[in-house]
Amino acid sequence: MSAAGLEVAGIESDSRSVTPGSLFVAITGFRTDGHRFIGDAVRHGAVAVVAERVPGGAADAAIPLITVGNSRLALSALASAFNDNPSRTLCVAGITGTDGKTTTATLLWHAWRAAGISAASITTVDRRTGDEVASNPSRQTTPEAPELQAELARIRDAGCTHVALETSSHALEMHRADGVEFRAAVFTRITTEHLELHGSRDRYLAAKARLLERVSTRPDGIAVLDAGDPFGFPHLAAIPVATRLTYTDLPDLAADLRAEDIVAESRSVRFRARTPWGDVPIRLGLAGSFNVRNALAALAAACATGADLSSAVRGLEAAGAVTGRMELVELGQPFAAVVDYAHTTDALETVLHELRPTTSGRLWAVFGSAGERDLEKRSAMGSVAARLADVSVITDEDPRGEDRGLILEQIAAGAVAAGGERGRNVFVIPDRAEAIAYAIENAAPGDTVLLAGKGHEKTLETATGEIPWNERAVVSAAIRRRFS
């Protein structure tokens, strides 16, 4: 049956979301194969199906069924075309890397806005369109192609011209963002993450590099690279691009944007930025000297895409803390409580290093490692915590369908191997609320309690489903109970 002249009301890759008039694209997922649900999609009113193969019986459907070599590629192209290719009229900056993506994207939005540019952002934490801010309704960093293209169309129709799009390795590997015409590729430091998908560190880097490869085909393409990234930079710097800007916070390294005289304080960090557009002092309202790199990346991207330096700096300085990123919980308690999204080995190490100089007492790390994700990082995170924190409380962080006890014991084994001692400075408390309560109840004046891994997330994923979660609220309740 021909699909010519077919009227399509929407594009869906989940048969449960199909409504009359939808075009259903069958994709193979991690747990389910969409080709199994073609019949359901037809019964729900799909007017056409795109698939990589025709399951038995599906060929008898009284609607067009188009076969393609890669359904994910087709889904991205179809979603973009259905929304009238919104990114063609937008300046889209993709922000990728292992850690710091959300903060960098948010800082870029602030810099653009301060420069009078009508800007939007799509991040793990929220969606911003002009002055409108709404929380991200899902746990996905980069939405699936139909939702992403619909959001870009909404941003375009709202009159925005610039978009900061946090772009995950999943989105690049699985072609979610293939329908996006990126103007700029902004890279934070690349370490290791999501090896359950990519299989190796080199393949993880290759997935990230796809963003720059996309930008490199444009005559006006822009790359913003961390010159101090020992793993990612050599590979990325070899990819030709029209405009390349490098940045660093290392004192002896050459780069287009450099940070000097860095002073980290408990709630802020200040430094002098030397840039191609001039030298300026900057004071960020963000804790952690690692945010200097994020700020330099955002500043480079902002100025390269139309912002003037002084306005961009004003925007960076006006930005407050990002939800779940080095977020202080202050209720008058005599110790510090910090909520952070650090869920990789490198991120946990970085945050613990940052918190040590401002901690006069003991440094606590309450953390876990997600189920059905990188096995290798579990013992490594335990080792980092044992070396850099005084007390490690190992607990759930989205065990999903795995044995929670096995995950925690793998982390604890790394902590013990690094010199930790069970019952003295290493504790395994599976229930996350109980683990947080234990740390808060036993923290002494001058201590710092780091709650790592959940950050802004609104659920805990378990074998029986999602449990509502708010890390800040759980920490606040524990503090109030202790001091009520």
Domain ranges across the chain: 10-69, 85-318, 327-483
Is residue 198 predicted with pLDDT exceeding 60?
no
Is residue 343 predicted with pLDDT exceeding 90?
no
CA distances from 383 to 349, 412, 415 (A): 10, 8, 4
Region 308-332: mean pLDDT is: 92
| AA identity, residue 286 | L
35-44, 306-315, 446-455: least confident range = 35-44
- Which uninterrupted H or E stretch holds 92? strand 91-96
Report the CATH superfamily, name and number, of domain 85-318. Answer: Mur-like, catalytic domain (3.40.1190.10)
**Res 103: pLDDT:** 93
**Res 165: pLDDT:** 96
Is residue 196 predicted with pLDDT exceeding 80?
no
Is residue 260 predicted with pLDDT exceeding 90?
yes
Region 328-349: mean pLDDT is: 92
| AA identity, residue 261 | D
CATH fold of 327-483 reads: Protein-Tyrosine Phosphatase; Chain A (3.90.190)
Is residue 315 predicted with pLDDT exceeding 90?
yes
Torsion of CA 354, 421, 362, 456, to 10 degrees: 50
Q: Tens of pLDDT along 132-143?
A: 998 887 777 788
Q: Tens of pLDDT along 224-240?
A: 999 999 999 999 999 99
Is residue 2 predicted with pLDDT exceeding 60?
no
Is residue 100 predicted with pLDDT exceeding 80?
yes
With H, G, I as helix, E, B as strand and everything else as coil, classify residue 340: strand
Is residue 432 predicted with pLDDT exceeding 90?
yes
Neighbours of 48 (CB within 10 A): 21
123-137, 299-313, 409-423, 434-448: least confident range = 123-137
CATH of domain 10-69: 3.40.1390.10
**Res 375: pLDDT:** 81
**Res 168: pLDDT:** 87
**Res 325: pLDDT:** 86
Region 263-277: mean pLDDT is: 92
205-209, 258-262, 440-444: least confident range = 205-209
For all residues of the chain together, what is the average pLDDT?
A: 91
What values do phi and psi take at 109, rounded to 5?
A: -60, -45
Q: Percent of the chain at pLDDT above 90? A: 69
CA distance 122 to 109: 10
Region 416-421: mean pLDDT is: 95
Q: Per the structure block, which two tokens stand in for 137? A: 């309704």
**Res 476: pLDDT:** 96
CA distance 50 to 68: 7
**Res 26: pLDDT:** 92
Q: Which CB contacts under 8 angstroms, 24+ apart, belong to 9-12?
A: 9/47, 10/82, 10/146, 11/75, 11/78, 11/79, 11/82, 11/146, 12/41, 12/46, 12/146
Please tell me the pTM assigned to this model. 0.86
**Res 267: pLDDT:** 82
Is residue 283 predicted with pLDDT exceeding 70?
yes
Region 118-147: mean pLDDT is: 88
Region 443-468: mean pLDDT is: 92
| AA identity, residue 410 | Q
**Res 395: pLDDT:** 96
> Is 477 exposed, middle or buried (CB count within 10 Å of its CB: 0-12, 13-18, 19+)?
middle
